[in-house]
Amino acid sequence: MSKNISIKGLIFDFDGLVVDTEYAKYLSWQEIFNSYGAEISFSFIESILGYEEGPNPVIPYLEKVVGKRVNSKEVLARVKNTLFSRINNLGLMSGVSDYLETAEKLGLPIVIASNAKREQITPIIDRLNINKYFSCILTRENVQKPKPYPDILFLALEKLGLSNKEVVAFDDSNLGLRAARSVGIFCVAVPNELTKHFNLDAADLIIKSMSEISLYSLLQKIA
């Protein structure tokens, strides 16, 4: 690795960063809302980012917007079916492949640190055949509190065996950016089609996509 680069490891979010599952979820819900003659707002989606286990918060919002009760089981089944179809057709987001290959060439280990469940991530990674690029995959099951709490970032540093100043974190929303910043990790926002409408003020740097600047150039810029 070039002596001009001090970064020794990377932390990637997954949903909405590596693969745009976030926008796929939004489109699936928007389809449901449209069938009721309604729209789901970006501001509402931003407000529920990272919600944990429990009743799906979109259902009461849908009922409020349309002014009547809905069959929640039926709605959730429809969303699940359309989302499954969309996700199965998703490829890597723009520039991600180049970042993965460059990191491998530079000897930079990458840890996935995601709020998603392992069962949601693993099939996508296997289908896209990118498992070899990740030294470790951390998911919601690995920590007590998900992002924006810093638990998973501390665990990622532990797995990398590096300090917070030797790592860069990439995320698509303030949820992960706040977690990284609270740990003192330099964080890069790479918004997707959904989160480009959101507040990303916790980022140290914002790039439109990973195809905007090469990983090598970005790391030199940070250094």
42-96 residue pLDDT tens: 999 998 876 666 678 999 999 999 999 999 999 999 999 999 999 999 999 999 9
The amino acid at 129: N
pTM of the model: 0.94
Give the CATH number of the domain where residue 198 resides.
3.40.50.1000
Q: Has residue 4 been placed in a domain?
A: no
Which token pair is 25?
């979820």
Amino acid 1: pLDDT: 46
Sort strands 134-138 and 110-113 into parallel, antiparallel or unpaired.
parallel
Is 44 found in the same domain as 32?
yes
Is 164 found in the same domain as 77?
no
Instruction: Look at residues 71, 87, 103 and tell me which one is the last residue of a structural domain.
Output: 87
Percent of the chain with pLDDT strictly greater than 90: 91
How many domains, in total, are found in the chain? 2
Amino acid 192: pLDDT: 96
- Residue-averaged pLDDT of the chain: 94
Instruction: Look at residues 66, 87, 108 and tell me which one is the last residue of a structural domain.
Output: 87
Is 189 found in the same domain as 108?
yes
Is 14 found in the same domain as 103?
yes
Which one from 13, 20, 171, 172 is the annotated catalytic residue?
A: 13
98 assigned to active site: no
Q: Has residue 154 been placed in a domain?
A: yes
Amino acid 54: pLDDT: 65
Amino acid 49: pLDDT: 78
Is 183 found in the same domain as 100?
yes
Widest pairwise Cα distance in the chain: 63
Residue from 128, 133, 134 nearest 101 by CA: 133
Residue from 150, 184, 164, 140 nearest 14 by CA: 140
Amino acid 223: pLDDT: 76
Is 101 found in the same domain as 82?
no
d(CA 131, CA 125): 6
For Cα atoms 28, 55, 198, give the angle at the middle one, nearest 5 degrees: 50
Amino acid 5: pLDDT: 74
Range of the domain at 117: 9-20+91-222
**8 Å CB contact between 153 and 160:** no
Amino acid 4: pLDDT: 62
For Cα atoms 137, 128, 119, give the angle at the middle one, nearest 5 degrees: 45
13 assigned to active site: yes
170-198 CB burial, b ≥16 within 10 A, e <16 = bbbbbbbbbbbbbbebbbbbbbbebbbeb
Q: Is 129 exposed, middle or buried (0-12, 13-18, 19+ CB in 10 A)?
A: exposed
Q: Has residue 173 been placed in a domain?
A: yes
Q: Has residue 3 been placed in a domain?
A: no
Q: Has residue 157 been placed in a domain?
A: yes
> 3-state class of 34 per DSSP?
helix
Which one from 15, 20, 171, 172 is the annotated catalytic residue?
A: 15
Q: Write out the chain's pLDDT in tens, 223 residues.
A: 444 679 999 999 999 999 999 999 999 999 999 999 999 999 999 988 766 666 789 999 999 999 999 999 999 999 999 999 999 999 999 999 999 999 999 999 999 999 999 999 999 999 999 999 999 999 999 999 999 999 999 999 999 999 999 999 999 999 999 999 999 999 999 999 999 999 999 999 999 999 999 999 999 998 7
Q: Has residue 145 been placed in a domain?
A: yes
Q: Has residue 2 been placed in a domain?
A: no
